[in-house]
Chains A and B, each alone.
Chain A
């Protein structure tokens, strides 16, 4: 009697587990369609012109001298990978470590030559550069000439840790 029962019990739970996994997989797949945000460098955006209304992330350096405050808490600035630049507009308080000449990641939509960000990612550490930004700069071939400042900080950091 007992082995039969146990087998039966096992089957019930394996069924339940499979059901859960199937439900999770379904949810994951449907959510992936809509909620995955692709990362773009300014060059990507200029060359490929993404679909309007599609959420995406833009990463690069904040161009020196491009930050301009406008009424009603709007800030506009340009993000560059030293090959191309994209105009960005953001309404709100910029993160504490937002600075000209430094790396930034903004999330929002792109339409008609303007990237409207609803989120500008903060970093917690002034020597931290988001890996995507570093990659975007390397891809545009400008990593070496541009990021002296970043590299200097990186060097200090590295050198000091060893």
Chain B
């Protein structure tokens, strides 16, 4: 009964969404308050119905109800509880249910907190949200129903893919989806604004926190995904420019651009059409990401078994959403009037540069990701576009922007003297020069991109720090600096932290990319291998038993100049249900780098094993940097100005005056 009730709740949710997609929209068009008022109750009922359906599926999974097909295929009675729960969204049907659950949560959040939104705008935003929801409910009910029964009932399930039985990946999909679906908010606001024909500071002020939230979740999702790839796949790498990874990176780039352009709309009442376009772009790329991952049209190292027929449905959905919104954009965007005027060298100009580079970056990633599909479709043969392409195109594009990123925050709105701005960053120039000189002195023949990366990371970090110091007058009036520091707006704290976090992350990428040391060999017990100054001594391997897998666990004693550092225990696990082995790398994080060991297959008669050892310099900085970015973003979301609601005209005027 539970499964059928869940199914029924989903059908009801579709019905409610159909009402919500039409009645409030018509009401907003005719100015009928009663019809518009339908938006709130329907949003609430949708979230309750979907949450109920999700609860039903979770219940079936947690109780290992093997009469439900989805449970049979993705769960097993011996799996630990955490993975029984994460198995709910660790599969196609369940992940879609999570998708619509998050969508309805965002919708009801607008209904709940949208008290100060103009009623027509709110009705239209929720109407657009419901339209997206209708598409996804239909997709689920017609092609991917998670509540199908299995008969006869098997004794046990097929278990979730062992690679997914991992804490990092248990939470990766929910965060990624919170990010993807979060951009649906900006999208709905954009479409509603196009219908209304009006975009103003209040609109931007509404869009920004949602975009920030989506961006925060997406950043967490992407970071978790790369972290998982790093420690679970055992290749010592963290980013492969794989289609599935690119699928999450493109919306991130577009979302980052949107985040910055919304500031210009809010503060300066210009770049409106562009911001709307970015909102459409960010959500379209999110949908495309879902499509790429779910359809299996691209060869991906992260690909899971997929079903092309569903791909066609998502492709249709994609065409309707992107095509429809772009047509609407083409018709209505010219009506959006901007009032703010600015010179190229100004804060607006800097933000626009960020936007242009981010969008170009997203376009390049899109091109590289889809090119194999395109070439195959026109009969040009099968190709793969790999890391060399992306590294040689994407990185050179980003470097100038990162350089400009140091200047952005010191530029004033409207117009700035470039020389004056450069003077303010004198200290940052000096610090960057010193770091570069030090690096060249130590390792003149070091990897070019590594040195460039560290230099640019230092520049971004120092420029951001100097700007903060300037803002609190650390040098000119140091006595009140602390109190000024504490009085900084949360949104500007967010900027400072996010930019610093990016700098830290770039240092990590440059370090790991430039100075990685890798050794592959067969080791017999007692044998030592030296790697980047560390001695890895192989002590042998033993067998053990996990809850639903067997283990071969190797032991490495790592020492530096004879002083013990750490003992590493990499594992090779074998999951008997699926006959599938997984690799569990052993990682020890030091400030300057990670010690990383992987054990492979046995070799020879003396207890030897193939082993793979890495020294990954600075790599943990990358995830720490991502954490700092997320932290900054959360602080920014908590800024009071976003909660006070509709802004007073003079408030934003004062803002500009103070900064200019």
Within the assembled complex, what's the spacing in Å between the Cα atoms of A36 and B374? 14
Given contacts A28-B367, A96-B583, 12 further A-B contacts (CB under 8 A): A16-B356, A21-B360, A24-B393, A34-B388, A36-B389, A37-B384, A73-B600, A93-B612, A127-B305, A128-B306, A132-B382, A160-B69
**In whole angstroms, how far apart are the Cα atoms of A121 and B102 in the complex?**
34
A91 CA to B518 CA in the complex, in Å? 13
Contact A135-B303, Cβ < 8 Å, known A5-B341, A126-B578, A160-B69: no
Interface residues of A in 61-115 (CB under 8 A from B): 69, 71-73, 91-94, 96-97, 105, 107
Known contacts A24-B360, A24-B393, A39-B381; is-contact A31 B580 (Cβ 8 Å): no
**Contacting residues, chain B, for A6 (C-beta < 8 A):** 341
Cβ-based interface call for B196 (8 A): no
Indicate if B563 sits at the interface (CB-CB under 8 A): no
Which one, A9, A72, A105, A126, contacts B579 given CB within 8 A?
Answer: A126
User: Which residues of chain A are near B610, meaning CB under 8 Å?
Assistant: 73, 92-93
With a cutoff of 8 Å between Cβ atoms, the chain A residues found around residue B388 in the complex are 31, 34-35
Are A93 and B601 in touch, CB under 8 angstroms?
yes
Complex Cα spacing A38 to B371, Å:
12
CA distance in complex: A34, B612 (Å): 29
Closest residue of chain B to A41 (Cβ to Cβ) is B382
B578 contact set on A, CB distance < 8 A: 126
What is the bound-complex CA distance between A12 and B346, given in angstroms? 13
Q: Which of B28-36, B217-225, B294-302, B424-432 contacts A (4 or more CB under 8 A)?
A: B294-302
- Please tell me if B582 contacts chain A, counting CB pairs below 8 Å: yes
B286-314 CB mask vs A (1 if < 8 Å, else 0) is 00000000001101011111110000000
A29: nearest chain-B partner, CB-CB: B393
| Closest residue of B by beta carbon distance from A1 | B341
Report the separation of the CA atoms of residues A13 and B520 in the bound assembly, to the nearest whole angstrom: 51
**CB-defined contacts of A127 to chain B, threshold 8 Å:** 305
B1, CB-defined interface residue at 8 Å: no
A125 touches B (CB below 8 Å): yes
Shortest distance in angstroms between B187's beta carbon and chain A's nearest beta carbon? Answer: 23
Q: Are A35 and B301 in contact (CB under 8 A)?
A: no
CB distance from B417 to the nearest CB of A (A): 17
B342: Cβ under 8 A from any A Cβ = yes
Residue of A nearest to B271 (CB): A13
Q: Which of A2, A34, A69 has the most CB of B within 10 A?
A: A69
A141 CB-CB contact with B under 8 Å: no
Instruction: Tell me if A132 and B307 are in contact (CB < 8 A).
Output: no
Taken together as a complex, chains A and B put the C-alpha atoms of A36 and B383 apart, in Å, by: 7
> Who on chain B is nearest to A16 by CB?
B356
Contacts of A130 in B (CB 8 A): 299, 303
Name the one of B297, B301, B360, B396 contacting A123, with C-beta atoms under 8 angstroms: B301
A140 interface contact, C-beta 8 A: no
In the bound complex, CA of A130 to CA of B161 (Å) = 17
The verdict on A122 contacting chain B, using a C-beta distance below 8 Å, is yes
B488 to chain A, nearest CB (A): 31
Query: A131 to B296, Cβ gap below 8 A?
Result: yes
Q: Is B385 an interface residue (CB 8 A)?
A: yes
Kindly report which residue of chain A lies nearest to residue B150, judged by CB atoms.
Answer: A160
User: Given the interface contacts A20-B357, A32-B389, does A96 sit within 8 Å of B580 by beta carbon?
Assistant: yes
26 intermolecular pairs with C-beta atoms under 8 Å apart: A9-B344, A13-B352, A20-B397, A24-B360, A24-B364, A27-B392, A28-B367, A28-B368, A31-B388, A36-B383, A36-B384, A36-B389, A37-B385, A38-B381, A38-B383, A39-B382, A72-B521, A72-B522, A94-B600, A122-B233, A123-B301, A124-B161, A124-B163, A126-B579, A126-B580, A128-B296
